[in-house]
Structure 1
Amino acid sequence: MRRLGSVQHKIPCVFLTEVKEEQSRKRDCQQFQVVATENVNPVALEANIHCAVATEKIDGTCCYVTLHKGRPHLCKGFSWNVEEDFKTVPEAWIPAHRVQHHNGHPVPDEHGHIPGWVPVQKDNKQYCWHCSVLDPEGMAVLVLRPGVDDEDELEVAAVPLADLLEQTLELIGTNVNGNPYGLGSKKQPLQCLVSHGSVGVRNPPSVDFQQLTSWLRESPEGRVEGIVWHCSDGTLIKVHRHHLGLRWPDEETRLGARPVVVHVDGPLGEFIDSKDLFSSFSRLNGQRFGRLRDIQFDL
Structure 2
Amino acid sequence: MNHLGSVQQKVPCLFVTRVTEEPSAKRERQPFKVLATETISQKALEADIYNAIPTEKVDGTCCYITTYKGRPYLWARLDRKPNKQAEKRFKRFLYSADNSEGFTWNIEEDFRTVPECWIPAKEIEHCNGKPFPDENGHIPGWVPVEKNSKQYCWHTSVVDYEFELGLVLKPHTEETGLLEISPVPLSHFSEHTLELIGTNINANPYGLGSKKHPIHLLVPHGIFQIKNVPALNHTDILAWLDGCKEGKIEGIVWHCANGSLIKLHRHHLGLPWPIAHPNLISQPVVVDFSGDKYGYNFQPNTLFHYFSKLDGQRFNSLRDIIGDYDQIS
Q: Aligned partner of 1:256: which letter?
A: I
Larger CA Rg, structure 1 vs 2: 2
Report the CA distance shift for 1:136/1:280 in structure 2 as closer, same or farther (over 3 A): farther
Q: TM-score, normalised by structure 2?
A: 0.87
Task: Report sequence identity in percent.
Answer: 54
Q: For the Cα contact (< 8 Å) 2:178–2:285, is it kept in 1?
A: yes
Q: Distance in 1 between matches of 2:32 and 2:163?
A: 41
Q: Aligned partner of 1:282: which letter?
A: S
Unaligned runs of 5+ in 1: none
Give the CA deviation at 1:269: 7.4
Q: For the Cα contact (< 8 Å) 1:266–1:279, is it kept in 2?
A: no
Any residues of structure 2 matched to 1:44-123 within 5 Å, and which? 44-82=44-82, 83-84=86-87, 86-123=111-148
Greater CA drift, 9-18 or 288-297 = 288-297
Residue of structure 2 in register with 1:35 after alignment: 35
Q: Please point out which of 228, 233, 251 is paired with 1:208.
A: 233
Any residues of structure 2 matched to 1:177-188 within 5 Å, and which? 177-188=202-213
Q: Distance in 2 between matches of 1:189 and 1:123?
A: 17
Residue of structure 1 in register with 2:320 after alignment: 294
Q: Aligned partner of 1:56: which letter?
A: E
Q: Please point out which of 271, 275, 298 is paired with 2:301.
A: 275
Q: For the Cα contact (< 8 Å) 2:205–2:275, is it kept in 1?
A: no
Q: TM-score, normalised by structure 1?
A: 0.95
Residue of structure 2 in register with 1:176 after alignment: 201
Q: Aligned partner of 1:187: which letter?
A: K
Q: Distance in 2 between matches of 1:103 and 1:14?
A: 30
Q: Aligned partner of 1:171: which letter?
A: L
Q: Please point out which of 256, 276, 285 is paired with 2:311.
A: 285
How many residues align? The count is 298
Q: Aligned partner of 1:59: which letter?
A: D
Q: Distance in 2 between matches of 1:218 and 1:61?
A: 27
Give the CA deviation at 1:138: 6.1
Q: For the Cα contact (< 8 Å) 1:50–1:206, is it kept in 2?
A: no
SS across alignment from 2:208: coil
Q: For the Cα contact (< 8 Å) 1:146–1:198, is it kept in 2?
A: yes
Report the CA distance shift for 1:138/1:242 in structure 2 as closer, same or farther (over 3 A): farther
Q: For the Cα contact (< 8 Å) 1:76–1:120, is it kept in 2?
A: yes
SS across alignment from 2:310: coil
Q: Distance in 1 between matches of 2:137 and 2:237?
A: 32
Q: Please point out which of 175, 181, 186 is paired with 1:161.
A: 186
**1:71-125 CA deviation, whole Å, 9 max, x = no partner?**
1110000101133372112100010011122232111122221100000123321
Give the CA deviation at 1:256: 1.2
Q: Distance in 1 between matches of 2:245 and 2:297?
A: 44
Unaligned runs of 5+ in 2: 88-109
RMSD: 1.6
Q: Distance in 2 between matches of 1:215 and 1:97?
A: 33
Residue of structure 1 in register with 2:271 after alignment: 246
Residue of structure 2 in register with 1:257 after alignment: 282
Give the CA deviation at 1:187: 1.5
